[in-house]
Amino acid sequence: MTTYFNEMYQASSSGKSVRPPYARLEDWMKSMPAELRHMKQAEAEALFRRIGITFAVYGEGGDPDRLIPFDMFPRVFTSSEWSRLERGIKQRARALNAFLVDVYGRGEIIRAGRIPSKLVYQNAAYEKAVAGFRPPKGVYSHIVGIDLVRTGPDDFFVLEDNCRTPSGVSYMLENREIMMRMFPDLFRENRIQPVEQYPELLRRTFASVAPDKCDGEPTVVILTPGHFNSAYYEHSFLADLMGVELVEGQDLFVEGGFVWMRTTEGPRRVDVIYRRIDDAFIDPLCFRPDSMLGVPGLMDVYRSGGVTICSAPGAGVADDKAVYTFVPEMIRFYLGEEPILQNVPTWQCGKSDDLKYVLENLAELVVKEVHGSGGYGMLVGPKSTKDEVEAFRARIIADPGNYIAQPTLALSTTPTFVAEGIAPRHVDLRPYCLVGERIELVPGGLTRVALTEGSLVVNSSQGGGVKDTWVLAE
Amino acid sequence: MLLTVDHVTRYRYDHPVRGVAQSHRLTPSIFDGQRVLSWSVMVSDATKGAQFRDGAGDALQSWTVKGPVSVVEVRVRGTVETHDLAGVLRGHRESVPPDAYLTDTPATAADLALRDLSAAAKGTEGPLAAAHALAGAVADAIVYRPGVTEARTTAAEALALGEGVCQDHAHALIAVARAAGLPARYVSGYLFADQEGAAYEAAHAWAEVYVAGLGWVGFDPANRCCPDARYIRLGSGFDAQDAAPIRGVARGPGHEALEVSVTVTETAAQAQSQQ
């Protein structure tokens, strides 16, 4: 029987005791009878609906208008827990950017034999079009979303890195906003570090990477694929909070080596574009010629230093599932440091020793296809029948190089409001690290919670919800 | 040789369009095999945009034309001094690693037939011999014949047809070279036609294969040779679309008709002795 780390309660001589970060929440919890709780929950839902925040996180698909369940029970970190996480996250964000500068530059890490050339240069996310070009301040990934899970008091593992345009930060901001509105007393009793500065930090991050050709205050815009996109709400929300224009491809044009925005007062030069459009669609003259979402000629302006694109085209080569395995190596290679946050141990079935281990322990492991995503073509050993495990064994043996295996992680739980009252449910965490002239991290992130009892899957398409994430002041 | 190029591309729109944006790779590459004596690219009623050299070493130049406009004309004129380097791209500065050119695109993906054809590389001594063998195999398998294939024909389709033009030869050679583990890429440029009456298109394309120790080496299966002093190199890419000398889009519903004329002539080399 696997034991799961409960972030609120720990075993003690008297049965169980409350861990310090949650100390003041126990009274709050007890002060809420079921009726009040139901009322509050309905109130929260009404608030979310009024704001209109109803989009799917992480491109999970599903109904984009569906409200993601919000759980009122906050997830809490102490400042010392957070400061270690913060150092680990910033370290990782620095290494990932150093890797991108390197692979589009001299490729030292490949020459040194620390990562296979094929994994990088034949990667679908590698963009030959930007080889040799160094973006302003050497930053490729301006917002690094790092997905973390916890398995013990001091044990955190990185599940994956998101270097392109990680979504979900609007939930971090909205969850806090709504908690403060509904439970102002909680925020007086607990010293919770704010997250509301995130939009301003994001704007400053973008401004700090404006191209050299920009004179004066940089003009920043958010480029969205349009209102049919599942994260459109977030695009408009962030534009609003940053005080910048939200534009679509047709609102921008290229002339004389610069990008211009059509406005009622005539064209206005744009210096930094936070694009929420994939590389393949941002410029039909450089990438997919049939794209109607992008700006023709944008990549030429970018590569001649007339505009900055965030994240930089080509940044995706750092967050690939196979490249992930090498992030600890990147940290050692570029920073000369030991990784503060651990990767999930991964066995490459293409290696004979690893394959042997995987086949011997198949029923305990999670096995994934190297290029799979969204949980397809995947085996969760402990949750599968004997037949399913055996069928998967045959597939691995037929094509070992196509599979990686990881241990089934014992995700931590936090108390969560459920129909029967309060019960532990499994959670993960996505903080958003900002990289510009400086590296910034607001104390918090998006906590996703698996609302189904026993479930380890936090995806909203499979019954996941979200929580406010607190980091306490010292 | 001294080669003079006159290359006109005219886009006609049946309804005036609101604007046109183009990105050009229309300037000769810088390497030991060619030296530009004069070169100009003019676009009718256009504004010059971004200008830079990309990681593959190509000179790129953007242009925009404000609408309403019904005709856009791109005129390239210039003279280049060329030398025969037996296809070797010597002295060319670029930063894209050769391994990046092992990536397939839809136009260059190898099907079973192309994989079979790539067996021509087996048993050869070293990558240079392999590349020669592959270029020969492609020339044998695809007969030069204009009008059979179109711009979107893939290497696999051209091989199945057994006929095609220089673009198809280049795509097929790229496909078989990559299948044999050799980085390969598409090159666009110009070719001076000699009196032999051999297969030829003045606006030409061929392939380059990366040979460790030697660097990039050009192969022109259409003419069963390596590029020599009759060739002018403009730029490269994964395939024809990626290496296109002109990429453009027009804003508006107008249908586009294209006219192209290219002449490459040899100029008397009276000034050469002074070098």
Q: pLDDT tens digits for B198-236? A: 546 789 999 999 999 999 999 999 899 999 999 999 999
Judge: A131–B100 Cβ closer than 8 Å, yes or no: yes
Total residue count of chain B as it appears in this document: 275
Bridge partners (DSSP) listed for residue B89:
none
Helix, strand, coil percentages for chain A (3-state, nearest 5): 35, 25, 40
Taking 80 as the threshold, does the pLDDT of residue B270 lie above it?
no
Judge: A129–B100 Cβ closer than 8 Å, yes or no: no
**Chain B residue with minimal CA distance to A110?**
B97
- Supply the pLDDT for residue A426: 95
Total residue count of chain A as it appears in this document: 474
- Supply the pLDDT for residue B177: 98
Bridge partners (DSSP) listed for residue A444:
none
Taking 60 as the threshold, does the pLDDT of residue B273 lie above it?
no
In three-state secondary structure terms, A169 is helix
In three-state secondary structure terms, A299 is helix
d(CA A406, CA A399): 17
Q: Which helix (H) or strand (E) holds B216?
A: strand B215-219
Taking 70 as the threshold, does the pLDDT of residue A105 lie above it?
yes
All domains of chain B in start order, with CATH: 2-81+245-267 (2.60.40.2250), 84-237 (3.10.620.30)
Comparing CA positions, the residue from B35, B80, B86 lying closest to residue B267 is B80
The tens digit of pLDDT for each residue in A15-28 reads 889 999 999 998 89
CA angle, A161 then A167 then A168, to 5°: 110
What does the block give as tokens for A102?
């390197």
- A366-to-A252, A379, B260 alpha-carbon distances in Å: 45, 6, 58
Strand ranges (DSSP E) for A78-182? Answer: 143-152, 155-162
d(CA A422, CA A401): 44
Q: Pick from B64, B94, B95: which is nearest to A254 by CB?
A: B64
Interface test with B, best of A111, A212, A255, A298 (most B CBs within 10 A): A255
- Supply the pLDDT for residue B154: 97
Judge whether A292 is closer than 8 Å to chain B, CB to CB: no
Contacts of B256 in chain A (CB under 8 A): none
Comparing CA positions, the residue from A73, A68, A134, A129 lying closest to residue A105 is A134
The domain defined by A345-407 carries CATH number 3.30.1490.270: yes
Taking 50 as the threshold, does the pLDDT of residue A3 lie above it?
yes
ipTM of the complex: 0.94
- Supply the pLDDT for residue A60: 47
- Supply the pLDDT for residue A31: 85
In chain B, which among 10-69 make CB contacts under 8 A with chain A? 19, 21-23, 47-52, 54-56, 60, 62, 64
Judge whether B97 is closer than 8 Å to chain A, CB to CB: yes
In three-state secondary structure terms, B101 is helix
Taking 80 as the threshold, does the pLDDT of residue A58 lie above it?
no
Q: Using the 8-state DSSP alphabet, how is residue B48 labeled? A: E
Judge: A300–B60 Cβ closer than 8 Å, yes or no: yes
Taking 80 as the threshold, does the pLDDT of residue A316 lie above it?
yes
Bridge partners (DSSP) listed for residue A247:
A223
The tens digit of pLDDT for each residue in A388-402 reads 999 999 999 999 988
For a pLDDT cut of 90, what percent of chain B falls above it? 91
Judge whether B107 is closer than 8 Å to chain A, CB to CB: no
Q: Using the 8-state DSSP alphabet, how is residue B268 labeled? A: P
- Supply the pLDDT for residue A47: 85
Comparing CA positions, the residue from B74, B8, B81, B1 lying closest to residue B38 is B81
Query: Mean pLDDT throughout A317-332?
Result: 92
Count residue pairs from A and B with Cβ separation < 8 A: 104
d(CA A273, CA A294): 12
d(CA B121, CA A391): 39
What stretch(es) of chain A map to CATH 3.30.1490.270?
Answer: 345-407
- Supply the pLDDT for residue B24: 98
d(CA B102, CA B100): 5
- Supply the pLDDT for residue A66: 62
Contacts of B241 in chain A (CB under 8 A): 289
Query: Mean pLDDT throughout A254-266?
Result: 96
This prediction has a pTM of: 0.93
For a pLDDT cut of 70, what percent of chain B falls above it? 95
Query: Mean pLDDT throughout A203-211?
Result: 98
Judge: A303–B60 Cβ closer than 8 Å, yes or no: yes
- Supply the pLDDT for residue A53: 61
Cβ atoms B209, B176 nearer than 8 A: no
Distance between A301 CA and the closest CA of chain B, angstroms = 5
